[in-house]
Amino acid sequence: MGLMTFLRNRAGYILIGAIGFAIVAFLLSDAINVGKPFWAESDRVVGSVDGEDISIEEFTPKVDQSVAQFKQQYGGSVNPQMQAMAVEQAWNGEIANVLLTKEYNRLGLSVSGDELVDLLYKGQNLSPLIVQYFGNQQTGQVDRAAVINSLKSSGKNPELAKQWDLLQTEIEKQTLQQKYAALVKNSIYVTSLEANDDYLNRNKLANFNYVSLDYASIPDASVKPTDGDYSDYYDENKKRFDNPAETRTFDYVSFNINPTKEDTLLAKTQIEKLAADFRTSKNDSLFASVNSDVKVPYTFLTKGKLDPAVDSAVFALPAGSYYGPVFSGNSYKLAKVVDARFSPDSVKASHILLDPAKLGGVDKAEKLADSLKGMLAKGASFASLALTYSVDGSKDKGGELGTFARGQMVPEFENAAFNGQAGDLKIVRSQFGVHLIKIEKQVGSSKVVKLAYIEKSLAPSSKTKSAAYKKATNFLAEVKSDNFTELAQKMSYTVGVADKVTANQGYAPGLDNPRPLIKDIYAADKGDVLSQVYTMENAYVVARLTEIKPKGQLSLDLVKKEIEPMVRNAVKAKMLTEKITAALQGAGNLDQVAKKLGKPVVPVQNIVFSNPIVPGAAQENKLIGSVFGSSVGKLSKPVEGSNGVYVYTVLGFNNPAPLGNTFKQKETMALGIAQRSLGAAFQALQDKSEIKDNRVKFY
C-alpha cells in the first residue's frame, strides 16, 4: 500500500503525534477573573501548558482525528467512554508536544537536514516509518527508488505533499524522542552493591515461626476511634493524601426506562407482522435495509460475523431459507439466506484507481480502464500503468494492495476480487472512482453466505418513557439538598454513588452516558441538586453533588470517612499489642507466648524479601521486613501488620551462592530501570510545569 493510502487511513496517529503548536494570547479584564473559577479565564481556551494556551479551535481537530482513529480501530460509533478517551489522548499529546519540545530545545536536541535525508532514503538506518510504508512485507527491504519518486511527485501533488509533511514531522518527532530516551537511559547506573542487594532480596530465604492476633478478632462495633486517633493516623500517612487531580462525588437516583411486559408483547406482535411481510417482499435487500435497526452489508459474510445463535443457524441453511424471528440479546433477528457458496479466505490484488472527476465523467473513466485492460492483455506492465494513471497512493508500489480478507474493502471491490479467479482483470465502480483490478492470488476456501438481515431492538414505548420521566421530574421538584437520601428511601428509590469522579472521566458506575452530568457537576457547589433530569440510554437520572476533593494535600476532614477502617485497625493494633506485650512478660520462647494467647504457632518457610506474602495472611510488608532484620532464635517484639499483630522467632536463613556475574545482574536491573525511566522523566516534567486543564467546559 502506498504512502497516501497508508497515511489517509492513519492520519489520526500522525496528526495527534506531530509536533506543532500555536501560542494564543487572551487579554482579559480584571473583572473576568474576580470571583470566577479558573476555566472562566477564556471562553475559547481548553487549557494551558506552562503559559501556552491551547484554543478550542486548534484542539478540536485533534480530538476529531482521535475519534476517527477509534472508529477505524473498533468500527461503528464511538460511545461516551471512547469519546472521553479520545479527548484524553489529544490532551496528553498537547502536553507532550509543549513540554518535550521545550526540553529538546533546552538540551540542544535537533534533527539536521542531512540527518533527515538519511532517515528518509539515503542512510543505513532508515526511519522505522519509512520501513513500514515502503518496505517489502516478506524481506523488510525498502524500495529507496519508490521513496525518491514519491518525494518528487509530491512537488506536483498538493495532497501528497501534505502527507509527506506530516510523515517527515512524525519522523523528526520519533528521532528526537529516541535521542531524549537515549540521554535518559545513559544517565542510569547500577552499582555492584545495588546488584548484590537485589540478588539477595530475591534469593535469600527466611524460615520463621509466628503467632498472631487478627484485627478481625475484635468486633468493629466495640472500637470507637477518638479525634486523636484520626489525627495520629493522618499525620503518619500524609503522603497518601496527596490528590493528583480534583475529584467530585455525587449521589444519584436512576429511573429505569426498560421495556415493560406490555412493550414486549407489542414488539412481538410487530415483529411477527414484519416477518410475514419479509417473506412476501419482492426486494429482500431493500426491505431489510429499510426495516433493520442494525445494518449488515448486503454482501457475502464469513462465519463468525453475526450473533452466535444466528451465525450457527444461517450457515446450516440452504439458499432461499428464512430464519426467525428469534429473540436474542435484546433484539429480534430475521434473516433470509439469499445465496451460499464456497469462496477464498483472502485475496492478493493490485489496482489502478481512476478519478472520474479528472477524466470528464464515469463513462470516460471506464473507457480508459478498458483501454488499460487491453494494454495489459498485450503485455504492458501493470506497475508502470499504475504509476502513470492511478490516483491512489498504491501506485508507488505498482498498485499492490497486499493480501486482504472479506470486510476490508468496499463491497463492489470485494465482490470483484473474491468472485473472480487468479489472473483476472476486472473493472468496477465504487465510491472512490473506477478500479481496474488484477487478482494476483486467492488463498483458502470456506463457506460464505449473503443475507438479507433484519434486527429490531426491544425498546421501551413512549408511554413507558413518559412514565419514568414523570417520576424523575416529580422527584426533582420535591427533593432538597438536605433530604436527597431520605426522600429517595421514602419513595423506595435506590441511591447510587459515583465516587471520586475526575473532570474528564468518561464513565461513572451505573451511568452509560455520564459526560453531560459530570460537566454540570463540575459547575456546581457542594450540596447542590442539579437542576435538570439527565437522559441515559435506559434511565433518567437526578443527581446531587456531595463532596469536592481539590487537587493537592487533602485535609483530615475530607479523608476522615475514607480512612475510618484503617484508623479502627490502628486502634485495634494498640489493643492487641498490649495483649501480646503482656504475654511476652516472662516468656522464654514463642511456644510459651502462644500458650498464653491461646493461639497456635504457625511455621513459615522459604520466604524472600522481595515477595512479602505470608501464606494465609496475605501481604505483610512490615512483618517480612522485620524478619529479615532480625537475629536467629530471638523472640521478637510485637509487629503491627496489615491483618493483625505478630510476634515471631527466626529459625534461620538460607543464603544463595555468591553472585557470580555482577555485570549480568547490573545489566538486568538497568534494563528494568530504563523501561520506567522515560515515563518517570516525563512525569517529572509535568510536575515542574503549570498545567491548567479546562476541558470539562467543552467536553
Q: Which of the two residues, 2 and 213, has the higher pLDDT score?
A: 213
Closest among 285, 304, 303, 301 to 414, alpha carbons compared: 301
In the structure, what pLDDT confidence band is assigned to residue 138 with cuts at 50, 70 and 90?
low
Q: Which residue in this structure is represented by grid cell 437520572?
A: 541
Residue entry with cell 440510554: 537
pLDDT at 578 over 50: yes
The whole-number pLDDT of residue 661 equals: 85
pLDDT digits (tens, 9 = 90+) for 59-69: 999 999 888 88
Of 15-24, 134-143, 546-555, minimum mean pLDDT range: 15-24
pLDDT of residue 79: 81
- Contact at 8 Å (CB) between 605 and 650? no
Residue with the bigger pLDDT between 393 and 17: it is: 393
Q: How far is CA 109 from CA 104, 177, 181, 366, in A?
A: 5, 10, 11, 53
The answer to whether the beta carbons of residues 104 and 174 sit under 8 Å apart is no
* Distance (Å) of CA 29 to CA 33, 42, 272, 304: 7, 11, 66, 62
What pLDDT is attached to residue 537?
Answer: 87
Q: Identify the weakest region by mean pLDDT among 23-37, 144-158, 596-610.
A: 23-37
Confidence of residue 5 (pLDDT cuts 50, 70, 90): very low
Measured from the Cβ of residue 476, the count of other Cβ atoms closer than 10 Å reads 17
Name, in order, each residue with C-beta under 8 angstroms of 110's C-beta and a sequence gap of 6 or more: 104, 176
Conformation bin of residue 620: beta by default, left when phi > 0, alpha when psi is -120 to 50 = beta
Contact 522, 548 (CB under 8 A): no
Query: Which residues, including other chains, have CB under 8 Å from residue 300's CB and lie 6 or more apart?
Result: 339, 341, 343, 406, 415, 418, 448, 449, 450
Angle (CA) 222 223 227, round 5°: 145
Q: Where are the alpha helices (DSSP H) in 479-618?
A: 484-490, 515-521, 556-584, 590-597
Say how far apart CA 337 and CA 388 lie, in whole Å: 43
Provide CB contacts within 8 A for 47, sequence distance 6+: 53, 54, 91, 94, 691, 692, 693, 694, 695
The tens digit of pLDDT for each residue in 25-38 reads 222 223 323 333 44
**Residue 539 near residue 531, CB atoms below 8 Å:** no
CA distances from 454 to 158, 299, 337, 355, 528 (A): 44, 14, 12, 35, 46
Region 518-531: mean pLDDT is 96
What pLDDT, on a 0 to 100 scale, did the predictor assign at position 42? 55
Q: CA-to-CA distance for 697 and 503, rounded, in angstroms?
A: 9
Per-residue confidence (pLDDT) for residue 149, from 0 to 100: 87
pLDDT at 1: 38
Q: What is the mean pLDDT of the chain?
A: 88
| Residue 447 to residue 55: CA distance in whole angstroms | 53
Q: Cα torsion at 265, 271, 273, 276 (round to 10°)?
A: -140
User: Which range has the top average pLDDT, 16-20, 124-128, 132-136, 626-630?
Assistant: 626-630
pLDDT digits (tens, 9 = 90+) for 163-189: 899 899 999 999 999 999 999 989 999
Residue of 89 and 8 predicted with greater confidence: 89
Q: Which helix (H) or strand (E) holds 346?
A: strand 346-354
Residue 131 has a pLDDT of 86
CA gap 607, 208 in Å, rounded? 9
Supply the pLDDT for residue 81. 84
Residue 22 has pLDDT above 50, yes or no: no
DSSP state of 240: G
β-pairing, 45-49 vs 691-693, is: antiparallel
Task: Supply the pLDDT for residue 562.
Answer: 92
DSSP bridge pairs for 49 = 52, 691
Check whether 379 has a pLDDT greater than 90. no
Mark 477-506 as b/e (b = at least 16 C-beta within 10 Å).
eebeeeebeebbeeeebeebebeebbbbbb
Q: Round to whole Å and give the CA distance between 342 and 461.
A: 43
Q: Is the pLDDT of residue 108 over 60?
A: yes
Confidence class for position 297, pLDDT limits 50, 70, 90: confident
CA distance 288 to 276: 13
Q: Report whether pLDDT(674) > 70.
A: yes
Q: Which domains does the chain have, with CATH numbers?
A: 3-184+690-697 (no CATH), 205-242+557-654 (no CATH), 247-258+461-550 (3.10.50), 261-343 (no CATH), 346-443 (3.10.50.40)
Q: How many CA atoms does the CB half-sphere of 93 hold within 13 Å?
A: 26
* One-character DSSP codes across 386-411: HHHH--SGGGGGTTEEEEEETTSS-H
pLDDT in the model for residue 17: 41
First to last CA, the chain: 36
Q: Are 545 and 248 in contact (CB under 8 A)?
A: yes
At residue 74 the predicted structure's pLDDT band, cuts being 50, 70 and 90, is confident
Q: Residue 20: which pLDDT band, with cuts at 50, 70 and 90?
A: very low
The torsion angle over the Cα atoms of residues 26, 29, 33 and 38, rounded to 10 degrees, is: -10
DSSP state string for 628-672: HTS-BTPBPPPEE-SSEEEEEEEEEEEPPPP-S-HHHHHHHHHHH
pLDDT at 229 over 90: yes
- Which residues does residue 654 pair with via DSSP β-bridges, in sequence order? 205
Q: What does the pLDDT read at residue 252? A: 97
State the cell numbers at 495: 441511591
- pLDDT bracket for residue 18 (50, 70, 90): very low
Secondary structure (3-state) at 683: helix
Distances (CA, A) of 259 to 169, 349, 587: 53, 49, 70
Considering only 77-81, 104-108, 488-492, which range has the smallest mean pLDDT?
77-81
User: Does the structure show a pLDDT above 50 at 239?
Assistant: yes
The confidence score (pLDDT) of residue 300 equals 86
Give, for 354, the enclosing helix (H) or strand (E): strand 346-354
**pTM exceeds cut of 0.85:** no
- From CA 207, how far away is CA 227, in angstroms rounded? 40
CA–CA separation, 321 and 325 (whole Å): 13
How far apart, in whole angstroms, are the C-alpha atoms of residue 609 and residue 198? 10
Is 80 exceeded by the pLDDT of residue 311?
Answer: yes
Unique residue bearing C-alpha cell 497518601: 240
DSSP per-residue codes, 143-195: -HHHHHHHHHHHTT-HHHHHHHHHHHHHHHHHHHHHHHHHHHHHT----HHHH
- Flag whether pLDDT at 12 surpasses 60: no
Q: What per-residue confidence (pLDDT) applies to 3?
A: 43
Q: Which pLDDT tens digit goes with each residue over 403-438?
A: 998 888 888 898 899 888 898 999 999 888 999 999
Q: Give a three-class secondary structure readout of 199-220.
A: HHHHHCEEEEEEEEEEHHHCCH
**pLDDT computed for residue 7 by the predictor:** 39
C-alpha 21/C-alpha 53 separation (Å) is 9
Cα Dmax for the chain = 107
Query: Which segment of 70-84, 222-236, 512-526 scores lowest on mean pLDDT?
Result: 70-84
- C-alpha grid cell, residue 219: 468486633
Interval 241-258 mean pLDDT: 94
Does the CA dihedral 548-554-556-559 come out positive or negative?
positive
Model confidence at 660, pLDDT cuts 50, 70, 90, reads confident
Q: Of 537, 559, 548, 533, nearest to 502 (Cα)?
A: 548
- Residues contacting residue 604 through CB under 8 Å, at least 6 positions apart: 206, 207, 208, 209, 210, 614, 615
Mean pLDDT value of segment 635-653:
96
Segment 310-330 shows an average pLDDT of 89
pLDDT above 50 (res 13): no
How confident is the model over 685-697, as a mean pLDDT? 92
- What is residue 79's DSSP assignment? P
Q: How far apart are CA 498 and CA 511, in angstroms?
A: 9
